[in-house]
Amino acid sequence: MIKYVIRRLLYLIPVLLGVSFIIFVLFNLVSGDPTAVLLGKNATARQMAELREQLGLNKPLLEQYFDVVRSAFTFNFGTSWATKQDISQMIVQGAYPSLCLTLPAFVFATILSLVISLVAAFYRGKGIDLFVRIMCIAGVSVSALAYILFFQYFFAYKLGWFEISGFEYGFPDFVPYVALPAIIFVLLSLGPDVRFFRTVILDEIYQDYVRTARAKGLTEIVVLLKHVLRNALIPIITYVVIQIPSLILGALLLENFFSIPGLGGITLNALNSSDFPVIKAMAILSSVLYILLSLLTDVLYTFADPRVKLK
């Protein structure tokens, strides 16, 4: 077990170097000279040279690359060009509103999706299943933008049930602000989640061991909840866990529409002000998180599936 985790940890090194390399290529090689953007059209050559020195753009490329790698470990991303704030601090501040919105919504969406897909699988081929399938496929076909616009307009603006935008720190003050975006988050997740879970569950339901379970005299519900679900859990774990990095990012669009000052909002602001360091920091941070979570899924596998060899 320990050996397996160590091996997976060691494998993180080349992946992390690779991710850093892609980010380095994008932001340090392809992006061109940012000084013109930062200083405006009237900048003198001297000012630009000074700024370049200040931003570390005159360093050898290899050193610049290692700066990127280093930041993946130290989370020291420098300062924002636009707000002049320390980026790590911005991220810590932004994480709170983002998580207030996405974490409960994510947990609820996952559980609800699992329940719906189990019900659909139980009644496979019957009316309920067909209804679920139609709703899912129609649901995922509507643009996320349309959902958000409509819900915000109708429930917050027209009916006034929720705050239209903004955020307040501390529980339960934030609830009226995040309730509507959280509901939309759940609705947006249901379609793809249920489709995936249902397919995985049905893949298992036709296996030989399920026939064995039925031949024992088990009820269909026990067959489903004990035998089938336990096996379907393995792909479901992967699917759920690797979604988490996008939670930290915040529901980008939701935060934008509802003016929630989370990480998604920070990212979009940085995007509009060409604030490269912030985008770069978000890319590095979310990748590191993804890599760590994929390690976590591998470890979870060993609990869910005894066939995974702990070599």
Residues near another protein (CB under 8 A): 3, 6-7, 10, 14-15, 18-19, 21-23, 26-27, 30-31, 125, 137-138, 140-146, 149, 153, 157, 206-209, 211-220, 227, 230-231, 245-246, 249, 252-253, 267-268, 271-272, 274, 276, 279-280, 282-283, 286-287, 290-291, 294, 304-307, 311
Q: How far is the CB of 43 from another protein (least distance, A)?
A: 20
Q: How far is the CB of 158 from another protein (least distance, A)?
A: 9
Q: How far is the CB of 171 from another protein (least distance, A)?
A: 28
Q: How far is the CB of 7 from another protein (least distance, A)?
A: 6
Nearer to another protein, 93 or 274 (CB): 274
Q: Are 4 and 311 in contact (CB under 8 A)?
A: yes
Q: How far is the CB of 188 from another protein (least distance, A)?
A: 12
Q: Are 295 and 289 in contact (CB under 8 A)?
A: no
Q: How far is the CB of 13 from another protein (least distance, A)?
A: 11
Nearer to another protein, 33 or 173 (CB): 33
Nearer to another protein, 175 or 291 (CB): 291
Nearer to another protein, 149 or 169 (CB): 149
Nearer to another protein, 14 or 172 (CB): 14
Nearer to another protein, 52 or 124 (CB): 124
Q: How far is the CB of 221 from another protein (least distance, A)?
A: 11
**Which distant-in-sequence residues (6+ apart) come within 8 Å of 303 by Cβ?**
none
Q: Are 246 and 82 in contact (CB under 8 A)?
A: no
Residue whose C-alpha is closest to residue 231's, from 205, 213, 257, 252: 205
Nearer to another protein, 174 or 223 (CB): 223
Instruction: Write phi, then psi, for 229 (nearest 5 degrees).
Output: -60, -40
